[in-house]
A and B are shown apart, each in its own frame.
Chain A
Amino acid sequence: MTRLRLAWLAGAAVLALFPLWRFFARPLREQLRLPLTPVDRVDGARARQWQFLEESRAHVPPKSSFTVLAEDPDVEMALYMMSYGVLLDTLPLPTRYYGNPTAYSGREAKYVLAFGLPEAPEPADRLRLVARVAGGAVYERKSPR
């Protein structure tokens, strides 16, 4: 009887203390820094994408449409999916959906959120730079199709 109780408690101790040990094994200053995004310590790349969308939000007026562009189609899809949560009261229009080009929707967007692209994604006569933000830039289309 006692053996089983001790086994349960020992098991609980192992399982409860492992994550705490992992927490204290890293520099405390780093551990106590408040996160900027919900996924700071889960996935640094995802955190930068979320941060990019949050910073872009101020430059996309309510009710307007936008599309997100990135070199990697998986990153572009992730940004599109997360944009519903961050840019409330706007209309996200994907240029690619799971890597497949969409018929029109992305090209119809008024704003372009370019993540990690070295240059403007379209010629200068069609895009106006609105702002540079962490991880990319926000552009306004002069005449969306």
Chain B
Amino acid sequence: MTGLIWIASLLLTALAGFPLVGHRAFAGFPPPTRLVLAGASGAVLLSFAMTVAVLTGIPWNVPWLVVAAAVLAAGLRLVLRRLPVSPVRGPSEAGGGVIVVAASVLSLAAVAAALVATVAGAATSPDLLFFWGPKAQQFALARAFDAAFMRDELHHHMHAYYPPLVTNLGAFASMAAGRMSWTGATLTFPLLLAALAIGLPGALDGRLGRARAAAVASLTVAAIAYLGIEADVAGNAEMTLLLFETLAIALLLSETAASAPTQLLAGILLAGAAAAKVEGLPFAAAATALFFLARPEASRPFWPAAARLLLPAAAMLSAWFAFGASRRIFFGYSGYGRLLDLYPDHFGLVLSAVGRSLAATGHALPWLVPLACVLLALPLDRRWILPIGTAAILTAFFLFTYIHRAEDPSLWISWSAPRIFSPVAVLLSIAASLAGGRESRPARP
């Protein structure tokens, strides 16, 4: 029962995000997609409210945190009133029923597989037991970030500097349920995957039409499910990161990406990615930069668009680093040595270890199947720059990180590569929908 309350309390994030996503600027999205976007943006605002509460010395309290996040969302809604709101294309016409049904069944099967694996204790991340869970539990008890706990040198393994969103949500749910629930924490994997299965088709619909949006969404959801089961992501930050990243990329590729409200919402989702995991920051930076290259017509004028996409992440991380610096716990992200202290002779070793590691994760099918779909869709339209470019930058970033260790990094790669390369599978799945010319959206009646 505690597990159910724990996981159900996360649905309150949709309540927090509704004042923003309830705005008419987002009326073009179908209701299930708006609900998921409200939950995702609400989670970001809730985490921000929790961080600011600690900075200002206000103890956490479940109802007040929801109210504070909703007030933030309402404040952003006021900002939207000043922004130009482009007419938003509504959900496409009915049709392609067989494809939609088949895609929905496949998404359902993928979510069911993730749920079964999670309930069976076959997909749990050891990191949940080592630090995500204990940190969330400790913060819930302290009703704040426990600075003394984080500063203790015997808690070095807790990675105090890791961005706060996932532990914040865990602490929030633990306060709501009265205690930490390990079952509840693992269930975030199928829950957030289900949210993506529900919300993603509507986010792609405006660009692709109903049937193709459903098919691409099912490919994306199935890739994440298989990868998540094989790489044991239940209860860690991976699924949260993937939810934010997938929805943000879908919005930036959408027909409404030129509209200020869509850019603001995408910026909030990118902030969620940056506040979920360290590698969410390079993702957010790469996606924003490549958006301007891939969608020049949608990103003018430059500075206001850049502000909408980047300021939410800047605000989230500024609050986090202000906490770390003011308590003298951390002053930035901890690296693996100095930036240019590299071991280039390890490069071959790193490449082969990454290859082995991905091959051991479902025979690399979560990456190979979307890649095959991309090759079938060639030539892609100009928007390919965004997902493929982001995947390339992330890959370069991870390889760069791996060649920072003096010792053999093979063991480190074996347990980290399938997880950190998971956004690449998602980006390939979405890129497969960018067939140039031949696959234009069907005309509306």
Contacts and interface: CB of A to CB of B under 8 A. Distances in A.
Interface string B348-371: 000000000000001001100110
A43 B229 CA distance: 13
A27 interface: no
A39 B124 contact: yes
B226 A42 contact: no
Interface in A76-94: 77-78, 81-82, 84-85, 88, 93-94
Specify the main secondary structure of chain B where it touches its partner: helix
Interface string B206-218: 0000011001101
A43 B102 CA distance: 35
Given A18-B226, A20-B112, A78 B107 contact: no
Interface in A1-15: 1, 3-5, 7-9, 11-15
B110 A81 contact: no
B124 A42 contact: yes
Contacts of B120: 31, 35, 40-41
A133 B404 CA distance: 43
Contacts of B218: 8-9, 12, 16
A37 interface: yes
Nearest to B227: A15
B28 to A, nearest CB: 23
B126 A85 contact: no
A123 interface: no
B215 A5 contact: yes
Contact of B154 (A5, A42, A50, A94): A94
Interface in B330-389: 362, 365-366, 369-370, 372-373, 376-377
Given A18-B226, A20-B113, A42-B124, A8 B219 contact: yes
A75 to B, nearest CB: 13
A46 interface: yes
Interface residues of A, number: 43
B129 A1 contact: no
B235 to A, nearest CB: 7
B113 A5 contact: no
B109 A39 contact: no
Given A4-B435, A19-B226, A40 B121 contact: yes
A91 to B, nearest CB: 11
Interface in B89-109: 99, 102-103, 106-107, 109
A81 B223 CA distance: 31
A38 B215 contact: no
A10 to B, nearest CB: 9
B27 interface: no
A84 B186 CA distance: 17
A29 to B, nearest CB: 13
A12 B365 contact: no
B347 to A, nearest CB: 27
A65 interface: no
Given A15-B369, A17-B109, A88 B137 contact: yes
A43 B124 CA distance: 9
Contacts of A35: 119-121
B47 to A, nearest CB: 21
Contacts of A64: none
Contacts of B110: 12, 15-16
Tell me the dominant secondary structure on chain A's binding face: helix
Contacts of B182: 38, 85
A13 to B, nearest CB: 6
Contact of B376 (A3, A41, A88): A3
B284 interface: no
Interface in B166-195: 179-180, 182-183, 186
B313 interface: no
B138 interface: yes
B393 interface: no
Contact of A39 (B107, B121, B212, B369): B121
A43 B127 CA distance: 13
Nearest to B228: A19
A63 B190 CA distance: 36
Contacts of B179: 88
Interface string B226-242: 10011010010000000
Nearest to B362: A18
Given A1-B439, A15-B365, 7 more contacts: A8-B216, A12-B103, A14-B222, A14-B369, A19-B117, A50-B129, A105-B154
30 contacts: A1-B439, A4-B432, A8-B373, A9-B99, A9-B218, A11-B223, A11-B372, A12-B218, A12-B219, A12-B221, A13-B106, A14-B365, A14-B369, A15-B219, A16-B109, A16-B218, A16-B226, A18-B365, A19-B362, A35-B121, A38-B124, A42-B126, A42-B232, A43-B126, A78-B130, A81-B131, A81-B157, A82-B129, A88-B179, A93-B154
Interface of B: 99, 102-103, 106-107, 109-110, 112-114, 116-117, 119-124, 126, 128-131, 133-134, 137-138, 154, 156-157, 179-180, 182-183, 186, 211-212, 215-216, 218-219, 221-223, 225-226, 229-230, 232, 235, 362, 365-366, 369-370, 372-373, 376-377, 432-433, 435, 438-439
Interface of A: 1, 3-5, 7-9, 11-20, 23, 31, 35, 37-43, 46-47, 50, 77-78, 81-82, 84-85, 88, 93-94, 97-98, 102, 105
